[in-house]
Amino acid sequence: DAGVTQSPTHLIKTRGQQVTLRCSPKSGHDTVSWYQQALGQGPQFIFQYYEEEERQRGNFPDRFSGHQFPNYSSELNVNALLLGDSALYLCASNCWGLAVSGDTQYFGPGTRLTVL
Amino acid sequence: GESVGLHLPTLSVQEGDNSIINCAYSNSASDYFIWYKQESGKGPQFIIDIRSNMDKRQGQRVTVLLNKTVKHLSLQIAATQPGDSAVYFCAENFLQVLDKLIFGTGTRLQVFP
């Protein structure tokens, strides 16, 4: 049973560039959420995708956009990168609907983005 | 705004002792709480969860307690082992549909032999 996978593991970009991060959800899951985790902080919710639509969004600018594909995988795109975008980007997946005990959001290993 | 915070940034315990990690939340409408463990270089790993209609839930060596009166959540780890060393986060969900989780800043647990 494959867990949540993310690619790439590490990425280095310069200010102003654009980046695309990828996520494949856990087998059987149809909902993908993206989080940004700055060093020493807890993850911050960016947005969530279900049925190829953005369902919820956190307090992030429009430079952050996403997409979900028919196979439930997802991409996170960040345009016009800033130094402050340097962080660990986490993808989490779950089944849409009520949170059944133990069937919560499962996280991938993350993509470490460094903006120079 | 809503927030989930932790009282202690670092907790040091002796191997074999019990550990207690605390968390305060501010939104009384939260109905679902989760504890995650995050080891260096890895994503958060689910430990245990609890719904707002419960006060206590036990897992393997872990117990989560929820006190809605004072909006407090705790994670108890019995017989702490070196492998328990990590950063622990509590997270809350505001809606019945699992969507965004609100995380605190985390508590680092250090286990000494």
Q: How many domains does chain B have?
A: 1
Specify the pLDDT at position A86: 97
Q: Which of residues 37-56 of A touch B (CB under 8 A)?
A: 40-45, 48, 55-56
Residue B90, domain extent: 4-112
- Contact between chains at B43 and A4 (C-beta distance less than 8 A): yes
Specify the pLDDT at position B1: 37
CATH number for position B69: 2.60.40.10
Q: pLDDT band at B25, cuts 50/70/90?
A: confident
Contact between residue B48 and residue B36 where contact means Cβ atoms under 8 Å apart: no
Question: A80-89, B3-12, B70-79: lowest mean pLDDT where?
Answer: B3-12
Mutation for B interface: A104, A106, A112, most B CBs within 10 A: A104
- Which residues from chain A sit within 8 angstroms of residue B89, using beta carbons? 42-43
Specify the pLDDT at position B93: 85
Specify the pLDDT at position A82: 98
| Start-end of H helices in chain B | none
When the candidates are 2.40.128.30, 2.60.40.10, 3.40.630.10, 1.10.10.60, the CATH number that belongs to A5-91 is 2.60.40.10
H or E element that contains A113: strand A111-115
Specify the pLDDT at position B2: 40
Specify the pLDDT at position B26: 75
Q: Is B24 on the interface with A (CB under 8 A)?
A: no
Specify the pLDDT at position B84: 97
Give dist(CA A94, CA B46) in Å, integer: 12
Give the percent of chain B with pLDDT over 90.
Answer: 65
Tens-digit pLDDT profile for residues B46-104: 999 998 899 999 999 999 999 999 999 999 999 999 999 999 999 998 766 567 888 97
Q: How far is B102 from chain A (nearest CA, A)?
A: 7
For chain A, the structural domain boundaries read: 5-91
Q: Reply yes or no on whether the pLDDT at B109 is more than 80.
A: yes
Give dist(CA B65, CA B41) in Å, integer: 28
Q: Reply yes or no on whether the pLDDT at A78 is more than 90.
A: yes
Higher-confidence position of A114 and B1: A114
A89: CB partners within 8 A, 6+ apart: A6, A21, A34, A35, A36, A37, A76, A110, A111, A112, A113
Tens-digit pLDDT profile for residues A5-63: 999 999 999 999 999 999 999 998 999 999 999 988 899 999 999 999 998 899 999 99
Specify the pLDDT at position A103: 63
Looking at residue B50, its amino acid is I
Specify the pLDDT at position A95: 85
CB-CB neighbours of B67 under 10 Å: 12
Q: What is the mean predicted confidence (pLDDT) over B26-39? A: 88
Q: pLDDT band at B30, cuts 50/70/90?
A: confident
Q: Is A60 on the interface with B (CB under 8 A)?
A: no
Specify the pLDDT at position B28: 82
